[in-house]
């Protein structure tokens, strides 16, 4: 049910942007953080059925977070809600921290799933199951749309961006579940933390680079997590940026590493330390072999946005 202006004034929540004629409730949600403001932020706009794609993209660009999501009525009878996921560049068929953050916001707003203990999110990639855990929410990792070996010239391109010497990585593979991930396994978490990637100088009039690189390395045995992960992507201007904590990448990495006997669930992943974040991702696998990616979710702020 839409919340009126009085509800927000009563609770001291005044995040209002006057850019349109209809006000919609929105939440700012911290996903995968160990403590408040330590994970990956997400804006979730409720009751967005009347907004078109251009309006959603304009609002996403204005908010300037890595992703903004829009909750809509489902179109499939077995789905609990529908979500559209946008980066400042374009719409994504699926993304991990937006899935958990959107589900969290939907439940906090009073959403009641059709099936007790299981929420079914409808998105461009299909219906994604989400379930409560003892410490947050977890989504079922969707199947990879591209996987397998990487051509030598693409390996060299990625190595150049990451500053890797020949033979310094353990393996490299496509692990794309929507955003286009290409993943690199390094020999240690220390090697992952030590990366200082940079893009080569582009040729004149060259189009902006399009990259989505995930890097993972095993932690020391006495560490509280099994792996360290970093995610590097290019923005709409072709600049290389690092994502704080990345659910889709960790889902893809888990399927790759478990499938190649390099990891066994359950395990925990650390991400975001190089950005002064403290992200934690839990990886589990059920009896049917389905991989689940989980983490904490927390509403940081609520307000209204005009659209």
148-206 confidence digits (pLDDT tens):
999 999 999 999 999 999 999 999 999 999 889 999 999 999 999 999 999 987 767 77
Crossing angle for the helix pair 247-259 and 96-108, nearest 10 degrees?
120
The answer on 197 and 108 residing in a single domain is no
How many domains is the chain built from?
2
**Which helix (H) or strand (E) covers residue 26, if one does?**
strand 23-31
Residue 265 placed within a domain: yes
Residue 21 confidence (pLDDT): 66
Question: At 85, phi and psi to the nearest 5?
Answer: -115, 125
The answer on 47 and 167 residing in a single domain is no
**Arithmetic mean of pLDDT, 111-124:** 96
Residue 52 confidence (pLDDT): 96
Residue 20 confidence (pLDDT): 55
Give the Cα-Cα-Cα angle 282, 285, 289 (nearest 5 degrees): 155
Residue 176 confidence (pLDDT): 94
pLDDT digit string (tens) for 5-17? Answer: 333 333 333 443 3
Query: Strand 279-285 vs strand 291-295: parallel, antiparallel, or unpaired?
Result: antiparallel
Tell me, what DSSP letter sits at residue 56? H
Residue 5 confidence (pLDDT): 37
CA distances from 156 to 35, 126, 168, 170, 257 (A): 38, 34, 12, 14, 22
Residues 6+ apart with CB under 8 A from 286: 292
**Arithmetic mean of pLDDT, 255-276:** 97
pLDDT above 60: residue 1 = no
Give CA–CA dist 252/216, Å, rounded: 11
Q: Average per-residue pLDDT in the chain?
A: 91
**Arithmetic mean of pLDDT, 247-259:** 97
Residue 209 confidence (pLDDT): 75
Residue 11 confidence (pLDDT): 34
Give CA–CA dist 45/22, Å, rounded: 12
Residue 179 placed within a domain: yes
Residue 15 confidence (pLDDT): 43
* Domain CATH for 64: 3.10.310.10
> Among 124-133, 174-183, 201-210, 268-277, where is mean pLDDT lowest?
201-210
Query: Strand 40-45 vs strand 171-176: parallel, antiparallel, or unpaired?
Result: unpaired
Question: At 129, phi and psi to the nearest 5?
Answer: -70, 140
CB atoms inside a 10 Å sphere around CB 100? 28
Residue 211 placed within a domain: yes
Residue 236 confidence (pLDDT): 76
Higher pLDDT, 62 or 12: 62
Residue 137 placed within a domain: no
Domain around 150: 146-289
Q: Which band of pLDDT confidence, cut at 50, 70 and 90, is reported for residue 306?
A: confident
Residue 79 placed within a domain: yes
pLDDT above 90: residue 295 = yes
Residue 243 confidence (pLDDT): 95
The answer on 283 and 163 residing in a single domain is yes
Higher pLDDT, 86 or 16: 86
Residue 88 placed within a domain: yes
The answer on 177 and 285 residing in a single domain is yes
Kindly report the pTM of this predicted structure: 0.89
With H, G, I as helix, E, B as strand and everything else as coil, classify residue 129. strand
The answer on 300 and 277 residing in a single domain is no
The answer on 285 and 302 residing in a single domain is no
Q: Identify any residues that bridge with 15 across adjacent strands, giving them in sequence order.
A: 303
Residue 138 placed within a domain: no
Q: Are 109 and 25 in contact (CB under 8 A)?
A: yes
Q: Are 238 and 202 in contact (CB under 8 A)?
A: yes
The answer on 108 and 222 residing in a single domain is no
The answer on 20 and 68 residing in a single domain is yes
The answer on 211 and 113 residing in a single domain is no
pLDDT above 50: residue 138 = yes
């Amino acid at each position: 049910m839409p919340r009126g202006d009085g509800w927000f004034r009563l609770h001291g929540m005044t995040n209002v942007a006057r850019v349109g004629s209809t006000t919609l409730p929105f939440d700012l949600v911290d996903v995968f953080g160990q403590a408040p403001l330590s994970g990956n932020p997400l804006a979730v706009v409720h009751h967005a059925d009347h907004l078109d794609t251009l309006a959603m993209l304009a609002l996403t660009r204005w908010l300037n977070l890595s992703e903004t999501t829009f909750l809509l009525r489902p179109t499939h009878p077995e789905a609990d809600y529908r979500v559209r996921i946008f980066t400042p560049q374009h719409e994504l068929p699926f993304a991990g921290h937006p899935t958990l953050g959107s589900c969290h916001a939907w439940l906090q707003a009073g959403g009641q799933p059709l099936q007790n203990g299981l929420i079914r999110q409808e998105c461009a990639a299909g219906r994604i199951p989400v379930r409560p855990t003892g410490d947050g929410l977890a989504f079922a990792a969707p199947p990879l749309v591209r996987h397998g070996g990487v051509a030598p010239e693409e390996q060299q391109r990625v190595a150049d961006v990451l500053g890797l010497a020949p033979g310094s990585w353990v393996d490299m593979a496509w692990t794309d579940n929507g955003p286009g991930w290409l993943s690199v396994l390094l020999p240690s978490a220390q090697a992952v933390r030590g990366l200082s990637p940079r893009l080569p100088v582009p040729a004149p009039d060259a189009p902006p680079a399009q990259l989505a690189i995930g890097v993972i390395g095993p932690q020391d045995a006495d560490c509280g997590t099994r792996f360290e992960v970093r995610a590097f992507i290019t923005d709409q201007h072709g600049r290389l940026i690092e994502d704080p904590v990345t659910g889709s990448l960790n889902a893809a990495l888990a399927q790759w590493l478990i499938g190649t006997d390099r990891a066994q669930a359950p395990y925990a992943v650390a991400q975001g330390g190089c950005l002064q974040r403290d992200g934690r991702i839990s990886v589990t696998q059920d009896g049917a072999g389905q991989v689940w990616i989980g983490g904490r979710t927390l509403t940081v702020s609520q307000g209204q946005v005009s659209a």
